[in-house]
Structure 1
Amino acid sequence: MHTFVRSGLLAATALSFGLPGLSETALAAEAQAAAAPAAEQAGEDDVGARGDVIIVTARRRQEAAQAVPLAISVIKADSVESTGNFNIVRLQQLAPTLQVYTSNPRNTSVNIRGLGAPFGLTSDGFEQGVGIYVDDVYNARVAAATFDFLDIAQVEVLRGPQGTLYGKNTTAGAINITSNQPTFTYEGRAELTVGNLAFKQGKVAVSGPLSDTVAIRLAGAITSRRGTIYNVTSQQFINAQDNLGLRAQLLWKPSDTLALTLSGDYSAQDPECCGTVYVRTGLTQRALNRQYAARVAAANAATPGRNYAVPSTNPYDRLTDLDSNLNAGNKIGGVSFKANWELGTGSLTSITAWRFWDWKPENDRDFTGLSIVARSQNPSQQNQYSQEFRYNYESDAVDFVVGLFGFKQRIDTQGTEQQGADAALWSLSPSTSPTNIANIPATLAGLTATNTQYLKSDSAALFGQASWKVTPELTIQPGVRLNYDKKEGFYQRVVTTGAGVVIPSCAPSATTGNAVLTAQCGIYQPQLTTPSASAWNFTYDFNVNYKFARDVLGYVTFAKSFKTLGINQNGLPLDANNQPDLSTSTVRPESVLHFEAGLKTQFLNRRATFNLSAFITDIKDFQATVNGGQFGTVRGYLANAEKVRSQGIEADFKIVASDRFTAYANGAYTDAKYKRFTNAPCPPELSGGTFYAVGVTPDLSLAGIPGSLSPRACDISGQALPGVSKWAFSYGAEYNVPAKLLDKDGQIYFGVDGNYRSSWNSNASPSRYTVVDAYALTNFRAGFRGEGLDIFAWVRNAFDTNFMDLLQVAPGNVGLIAGQPGDPRTFGGTVKFSF
């Protein structure tokens, strides 16, 4: 099926290249048409020196970006395409305040200003704090972030709480993606890119009328690329790209005041992904003979003739030896129906949507070529339904938006995790006695945890925001939101031995005197939990903005926001009786207080734009990741940290010096810390040993000393949040000269763009072993663009900088750190046509 669709898309792309009569880019014409009413509303002064204006829908209506009193990054389609940032994961290279970290599509964190999602947690029971919207439809699963952008017009990254304008929780911000819409004039575009690593990408879109009142738009995209890591075990390159996307939109305009749009989309990925490489080891407090080097030596000694060693200790050799199957099968799609009815000074909008997500993974959770965790997979199926009604009113004195949002979601998951032949020797206390259970592979080999779970989530919200224009310069903008959430979960883990015998209990009464059962229960424990919780929340924000001059807008914002309650869906930590601690079943909502001040300016006859914002966000009961050291709980669970603060300053600058030269520079300073987290998980260097007795103050100077006692919990107050770079910058410039190619007038151009991120920590509790070093990436492009034609060559990560996308702590407290290296230097060429 995929092969047939891919062949069809490639053929359509090639056919589009051959179409005659190429004329001015349709996207530009459409953008100008959309900009006209908004520019007129904002006043002629809002149109720049070159006659262009950036139109956004951040406040659920079309308006000039510089007139919106909030921190917003607007990334146009041409910027996305020219810089090669074709999904949200890559978009962070253009938006410094955006952080996206992913070990696979499901385990992806999208954060703004360090806030949004618990870092490094695979769970369905919590909400994203950064809402992802595509054509006004909320995408509940962040897995959508890993797909290619498909025929988009622009991406808006809204920073700070947006709950009084957006239907679902948006504690930290929103990513608002707008696709190109059907048109009543015939137009189309095609794009073909090839590069090293067997990179191939094709995109095609066509649009036009079916009648005087009906128009259609069809779009498709494919991306494939060889993996960047070579697995010496499977003799395959892994972590490849293999994306397919399709979209169809049908627009019916029976009158000038009514527009009905039916949209459907489907995207699929099927790469051999997502694997890691050996990065380093660091000593934990586990006994030295139970740490990585000793366990590898013991595994070799136990199997005569085996001389296991990682294929390279240099992660940038990009070699691995993972022995479990890898897969990241990922399908997502849906249908939406949008009705927009103009009612004089107002408009009524209805958006009805259904979306699905189908996830079929296979992983190697021990990060080695030894058979420790032989199988690890948690396939999931999600269905979500949403309905939003929104009314926009505009007048000379007052504008307002009021909306009603309903959401229903169900996720079913069927998980399997199984221990391999080397598990006993790796995980249990070693002994020279051949009768010791650690030396008997059957102790753990085949031990299997089979997980069945589901989540039911219902949400409803009434929200609104008004803009009172007190004077032509002064506007007061209050907003409110009333929200209800209910979550019901089910989780059952059935544990069976390698002989297929079910382990009914791991309570002390069952394990006392049974060394084998005790060892097995130390890996997997049977569990049955049915968490359920509901909550009402009332939140609000208040914005005051003042136009000091024609091109100078200042604003201040206060917001009291929230992120709704969560439930732990992947198993619970154990109590003193080795039973699930039911008190951790639910997680309290986050309570957010946000302050922000900003300045938006234009000068040099509006050829230059400079925007500045400063913010402080305090979160009480921050939903944080807690990782356990056992194989069965390595994915962790959710808990509340007492208080978190994120504060910083952001600056965005752009200049159109002339028709020949443009440049931009964006920067962000983000200081995101746990203000108070006294019961946090300990980092690897303080884990693995026997626990201190209850009430005894631990000696933290013994970090990384094998055989030392380990704290039961750690106080990480004052430490930085994981995944956040304190400094982040992006920049770009382009210069062109007039030229002619193939009898077409145009420009030869040269562009450069790049980004920098300072060091950050990749563990839930910051560790000395999981510091990701600072890095800077630089990209170049050069080509010709003319009437309906753009052809250019590009090189990304031009200086072949070595950097890490993510570091992960291996389970078992053995001190192994694995990672996913970022892309090496890539290069290629792109041809784009429009008609």
Structure 2
Amino acid sequence: MALDLTATNSGAEAQDEPNRGDVIIVTARRRQETAQEVPLAISVIRGDSIESTGNFNVVKLQQLAPTLQVYASNPRNTAVNIRGLGVPFGLTSDGFEQGVGIYVDDVYNARVAAATFDFLDVEQVEVLRGPQGSLYGKNTTAGAINITTNQPTFNLEARAEVTFGNLNFKQAKAAVSGPLSDSVAARIAVSTTARRGTIFNVTSDRYINEQDNFGLRGTLLFRPNDDLDITLSGDYSRQNPECCGTVFVRVGTTQRPLARQYEALAAAQNFRVVSRNPFDRLTDIDAPLNAGNVIGGASLRTKWDVGPGTLTSITAWRFWDWKPENDRDFTALPIVSASQNPSQQDQYSQEFRYNYAGNRVDFVIGAFGFNQRIDTQGFEQQGAASSRWNLTGAFATNPAVLAGLTARNTQFLKSTSFALFGQASWKVTDALTIQPGARINYDKKSGFYQRLVTTGSGTTLTCPQPAGSIGAAQCGVFTPQISAPSVSDWNFSYDLNANYRLAEDVLVYASYAKSFKTVGINQNGLPLDSAGVPIAASGVVKPESVNHFELGIKTQFWDRRATFNLTAFRTNIKNYQATVTNGQLGVLRGYLANAGKVRSQGLEADFKIRTSDRFSAYVNGAYTDAQYAQFVDAPCPPELAGGTIVGAGQTPSAPGTPGGLSPANCDISGQSLPGVSKWATSYGAEVNIPLTLLATDGQIYVGFDGNYRSGFSSNPSSSIYTNIKGYALSNYRVGFRSDNFDVYGWVRNVFDVQYFELLQVAPGNVGLIAGQPGDPRTLGATIKFNF
């Protein structure tokens, strides 16, 4: 079977017997070792498995790793979480860090948008679960994704792959590697993916949410002797799809007055959505769509064997350009006529590491430096239907009040970070190893935010305006503001792991980690007090404080044909960074702040068997109980929002009471974190039979892989309108492969299961719920060649 995926995966000493477990080498602890020897929870997905199962980026990879959650309304608004933790669901801000670090060939990618690109010439992907702060840094409170690409070789080799499928799916990949001299080798890889969109927009008469990706990577290796490797890499990836639109899903009753909820507002404007069945895959959104995304960079990696250890230096530059266009009202009505927030990022990083390996003590020590700047130019404009949608009384029937009201945002973020780190392994006995680690980190962040607002006539708007005036109504939609938050902070994190080898192929371990997510700033503007003045104290967000406990056992048996691994974990986070609501009368909106406490705990079990060269199978499962332990000032779900805010001595109305009283904020302590399925599994098998075809010796094979996720919430505060039902997806493939080529047909989502990837609450709390349906059944064929 191509897929080698378990929580800690197979791996042992190299064996000559063909039926013994494969050796999987990982670098999870910044040194090469077999996966079964690493005393932490890690999933390893090989490059050929990624290709054969059609999981060609991290967004798709969650189908193979049950405790990985990836949700994206567009490339920038992508959440990559592990065990329910990482990025606050539904929150986009450059002012805070992600909690799952994404690394490609040891280079940290600061923007989650990097995860949306096609894997390019990937050797394997390691998903490290749980805090990795000692070796991977401040941005790994939930874990890390460590991607390794194929490196240049001194033997000439080449590979090519072509795929065709329905929905006009076309994908091509190629790579060639070989020597340029006795000491220099090169590798170049290219990929392109195109697919027709899965949603038809009747307004533009086009399919949307298409795929249009291109990637290029080049690598030079200089090896003057056996002790020194110098690797220069450069890559460029581009996405240019008409994306990312939604479909109508349902309408829920909120606490707005009934005349100001979706059904009444749509009827007043003689509007009927094109379809109320989301799986008709029809939409009528009217704003232009674009998800232009360009990312790339260069890195220089030097590995020098010095005495008993290895000195490694990684110097890197990354850039990211984001050119979006969105329909923020999710309808064909001209409510929000334009919504764009293009961004440009440059980041520079430098890491030094020294690895030492001894008989009883191994250690890694290092230093890391990082500098980043992000510039954003926001543009949002209200349309002719905005007054009806957002205002009351005579203003609601006067389109000119809000039509053309424009907000232009200018933002930048400067972020600097330095760290010293180390981790040691002390072999107390041949069976017992103690592994402590520590990291000290300094961060400095400074931001700038300015919102300028102009009316439809071009007049600059100032706020506040006299109560009851047109200007006051306009200020209620767009408020001009300027802020420049700045903060610096030191943090110390550490971990301790003890592991004991009960038998040759049985390892038990226990870990504790004290970690953090670094200090943040409110980069998208500050909330206003009752006088309309920005609340300066909300400009800075305290670091998250993480305490993590983990127990695990890793086993192999039946002559290492079978692997079974089990992990239990509990993670407590204090000062969780999320969107909160200030309950003070007159405060206009939610903002980034600390939300109390979060807890995630669960079990992960993984089993893989390879009875012979002819049959292999795997089953991975996870139970994840992730919830807000304490969150008393959360934004309310739509069924409790939109009404008059309760005053002293008043009681909020029942959920979904039109014209009712709404709480200023909601206590959601005890609720499950969004995006997290309590139960998740992935499973698969492959069987093959020797066959000679056209005088070529090979094997015919049949493979299956599937996954199941139980229901989860698609809103930060759980809502009956945004809960997504559980679903199971099944994929099949059948083909013939030899040493030099592989040809197979495949069907994904073979039973054409109808499911949602994401549901969203439309702005204004009118009760409209929009969403993105998951891919329908797709089928096609792939041909691979190796030379």
How high is the TM-score relative to the length of structure 2?
0.97
CA-CA distance at 1:576 after TM superposition: 1.2
Provide Cα deviations, 1:153-185, integer angstroms capped at 9, x if missing partner.
Answer: 000000000011114521000000000000000
CA-CA distance at 1:580 after TM superposition: 2.3
The count of residues paired between Structure 1 and Structure 2 equals 778
Listed as ranges, the matches of 1:614-763 within 5 Å are 614-626=568-580, 637-693=591-647, 695-696=648-649, 698-699=651-652, 702-763=654-715
Decide which structure has greater helix share.
1
Which residue in the other structure is 1:79 paired with? 49
Q: In structure 1, what is the Cα distance between the partners aligned to 2:467 and 2:131?
A: 52
Q: In structure 1, what is the Cα distance between the partners aligned to 2:588 and 2:88?
A: 15
Which residue in the other structure is 2:7 paired with? none
Which residue in the other structure is 2:301 paired with? 338
Structure 2 vs 1, CA of residues 178 and 628 (structure 1 numbering), >3 Å: closer, same or farther? Answer: farther
Q: Give SS of 2:644's match.
A: coil
Mapped pair 1:767 → 2:737: no
Q: Which amino acid aligns with 1:395?
A: G
CA-CA distance at 1:92 after TM superposition: 0.1
> For the Cα contact (< 8 Å) 2:242–2:291, is it kept in 1?
yes
Q: In structure 2, what is the Cα distance between the partners aligned to 1:316 and 1:636?
A: 33
Q: Which amino acid aligns with 1:341?
A: W
Q: Which amino acid aligns with 1:123?
A: S
> For the Cα contact (< 8 Å) 1:316–1:821, is it kept in 2?
yes
Listed as ranges, the matches of 1:138-537 within 5 Å are 138-300=108-270, 308-429=271-392, 431=393, 436-504=394-462, 506-507=463-464, 510-513=465-468, 515-537=469-491
Q: Which amino acid aligns with 2:753?
A: T
Q: In structure 2, what is the Cα distance between the partners aligned to 1:698 and 1:573?
A: 25
CA-CA distance at 1:571 after TM superposition: 1.8
Mapped pair 1:610 → 2:564: yes
Q: Which amino acid aligns with 2:410?
A: T
Structure 2 vs 1, CA of residues 446 and 797 (structure 1 numbering), >3 Å: closer, same or farther? Answer: same
Mapped pair 1:94 → 2:48: no
Q: Which amino acid aligns with 2:295?
A: I
Q: Give SS of 1:81's match.
A: helix
Structure 2 vs 1, CA of residues 168 and 641 (structure 1 numbering), >3 Å: closer, same or farther? Answer: closer
Q: In structure 2, what is the Cα distance between the partners aligned to 1:542 and 1:437?
A: 63
Mapped pair 1:582 → 2:536: yes
List alignment gaps of at least 5 residues for structure 2: 5-9
Q: Which amino acid aligns with 1:747?
A: Q
Q: Give SS of 2:474's match.
A: helix
Structure 2 vs 1, CA of residues 636 and 364 (structure 1 numbering), >3 Å: closer, same or farther? Answer: farther
Provide Cα deviations, 1:631-655, integer angstroms capped at 9, x if missing partner.
Answer: xx99963221111100000011110
Structure 2 vs 1, CA of residues 275 and 412 (structure 1 numbering), >3 Å: closer, same or farther? Answer: same
Q: In structure 2, what is the Cα distance between the partners aligned to 1:741 and 1:452?
A: 63
Q: Give SS of 1:133's match.
A: strand
Q: In structure 1, what is the Cα distance between the partners aligned to 2:227 and 2:82?
A: 37
> For the Cα contact (< 8 Å) 2:581–2:665, is it kept in 1?
no
Provide Cα deviations, 1:431-479, integer angstroms capped at 9, x if missing partner.
Answer: 4xxxx22111110000000000000000111111000000110000000
Q: In structure 2, what is the Cα distance between the partners aligned to 1:767 and 1:172?
A: 25
List alignment gaps of at least 5 residues for structure 1: 1-26, 32-37, 301-307
> For the Cα contact (< 8 Å) 1:194–1:828, is it kept in 2?
yes
Q: Give SS of 2:473's match.
A: helix
Q: Give SS of 1:311's match.
A: coil
Q: Give SS of 1:79's match.
A: helix
CA-CA distance at 1:123 after TM superposition: 1.1
Structure 2 vs 1, CA of residues 54 and 276 (structure 1 numbering), >3 Å: closer, same or farther? Answer: same
Which residue in the other structure is 1:805 paired with? 757
> For the Cα contact (< 8 Å) 1:265–1:334, is it kept in 2?
yes
Provide Cα deviations, 1:744-765, integer angstroms capped at 9, x if missing partner.
Answer: 1111000000000000001111
Q: In structure 2, what is the Cα distance between the partners aligned to 1:316 and 1:229?
A: 9
> For the Cα contact (< 8 Å) 2:18–2:613, is it kept in 1?
no
Q: Give SS of 1:559's match.
A: strand
> For the Cα contact (< 8 Å) 2:253–2:658, is it kept in 1?
yes
Q: In structure 2, what is the Cα distance between the partners aligned to 1:336 and 1:103?
A: 30
> For the Cα contact (< 8 Å) 2:21–2:560, is it kept in 1?
no
CA-CA distance at 1:78 after TM superposition: 1.0
Task: Identify the range of structure 1 (245-254 vs 620-629) with the bigger mean alpha-carbon deviation.
Answer: 620-629
Mapped pair 1:831 → 2:783: yes
How high is the TM-score relative to the length of structure 1?
0.91
Task: Identify the range of structure 1 (568-577 vs 332-341) with the bigger mean alpha-carbon deviation.
Answer: 568-577
> For the Cα contact (< 8 Å) 1:496–1:502, is it kept in 2?
yes
Instruction: Report % sequence identity.
Output: 69
Listed as ranges, the matches of 1:544-583 within 5 Å are 544-583=498-537
Q: Which amino acid aligns with 1:762?
A: S
CA-CA distance at 1:657 after TM superposition: 1.2
CA-CA distance at 1:482 after TM superposition: 0.2
Structure 2 vs 1, CA of residues 697 and 402 (structure 1 numbering), >3 Å: closer, same or farther? Answer: farther
What RMSD, in angstroms, separates the aligned Cα atoms of the two structures?
1.8
Q: In structure 1, what is the Cα distance between the partners aligned to 2:116 and 2:456?
A: 37
Q: In structure 2, what is the Cα distance between the partners aligned to 1:668 and 1:696?
A: 45
Which residue in the other structure is 1:111 paired with? 81
Q: In structure 1, what is the Cα distance between the partners aligned to 2:477 and 2:14?
A: 68
Q: In structure 2, what is the Cα distance between the partners aligned to 1:708 and 1:261?
A: 65
